[in-house]
A and B are shown apart, each in its own frame.
Chain A
Amino acid sequence: MSVLIRKGFPTRKPQVWLRQTDNENAVFDPETEVVHLMNSTATAIWVLCDGETTPDEMIDAICELSGLPREVVVEDVRRILLRFEEADILTWKE
């Protein structure tokens, strides 16, 4: 089963940088000067948005690691990628 928003490789915008501390994860977009706070799952997915990893691969790896049902992970990944897109910090490579 594969339920995804689109095909391709989600890619972080190169100018956006990630800051991780013990208590907080955030990305900062210097173009818009906006800081986006993230939970650990969103941060992990952000790291995987390297332009070489498909959403399906992300889902498989998260399922393997967490043991969560695939449909739950699919929905989480879909939602998080959509948020990155809405925040304009993500592009898609075909």
Chain B
Amino acid sequence: MMADGDGVIRVLLADEQSLFRDAVKVVLSSESDLLVVGEAGDGIQAVSEAERVRPDVALLDASLPNCDGIRATQQISLRVPTCRVIVFSAQEDEQILVQALEAGASGYLSKGSALVDLIDATRAVHRGDALIPPRMLGALLKRLIHRRRERDEALKRMSKLTRREREVLALLSQGSDNDGIAQHLVISPETARTHIQNVLGKLGVHSRLEAAAFVTQNGLLDDLAGVTG
């Protein structure tokens, strides 16, 4: 995956601190295969610079002002899909690592890492590798397992719903009220209310809001997609 013919990896660097950017830029520029083609001091600028210069790799601080590094990663992944993103943060933070990977980042580093690690990381993600600090690997896997268990449990509960109740849940999670659900499904509001009560009972939640949260938090929107026709 080379961006240009001479094999140079074009890098976008985003950090609020210009001193940090300058230091990293000097180090990266000393490598013959790395070229800093853009800089940004906040998240919005990072996204627009990524669209403008279309770098091979973007190095983003997680705590950028005006659209943090995680949201900027999401945007860059959407708008410049060829760009690989590395997120870095002040300390190793499992939460940030997970959020960064979910947002589409290919790698994560803490600012405590050696600069040579940043250089290696830039090359590695450009090659297509994923980069996770080894010390965080176990905790990350644990979190993935936990999430998978929760999703399996959620799917188990959702499997108890009838087709009609799944339609009701889909509409609920899209923000429809009783009348909206009734109208969409061509049923009476009373019947809609009964379906909703059944859905809440089977899912083990106490409110419509909780039901909607159940769907989004467990990533079940795709499983419900299409049931409302």
Residue numbers of A with Cβ under 8 A of B are 20, 22, 25, 40-41, 43-48, 50, 53, 57-58, 60-62, 64-67
Contacts and interface: CB of A to CB of B under 8 A. Distances in A.
Most B CB within 10 A of own CB, among A40, A43, A58, A67: A40
B227 interface: no
Nearest to B137: A44
Interface string B151-175: 0000000000000000000000000
B145 A61 contact: yes
Contacts of B145: 48, 53, 57-58, 60-61
B5 interface: no
B10 to A, nearest CB: 25
10 contacts: A43-B137, A44-B138, A45-B138, A47-B137, A47-B138, A58-B141, A61-B145, A65-B130, A65-B132, A66-B130
Contact of B142 (A20, A43, A47): A47
Nearest to B114: A22
Contacts, number: 49
B134 interface: yes
A48 B139 CA distance: 8
A66 B129 CA distance: 9
B100 to A, nearest CB: 13
Nearest to A67: B130
Interface of B: 130, 132, 134-135, 137-142, 144-145, 148-149
Contacts of A47: 137-139, 141-142
Contact of B141 (A20, A22, A65, A67): A65
Nearest to B117: A22
A58 B132 CA distance: 17
B180 to A, nearest CB: 37
Most A CB within 10 A of own CB, among B135, B138, B140, B142: B138
Nearest to B113: A22
A50 B139 CA distance: 12
A69 B94 CA distance: 25
Nearest to B144: A61
A46 B138 contact: yes
B79 to A, nearest CB: 23
Contact of A40 (B130, B137, B139): B137
B141 A48 contact: yes
A50 B149 CA distance: 15
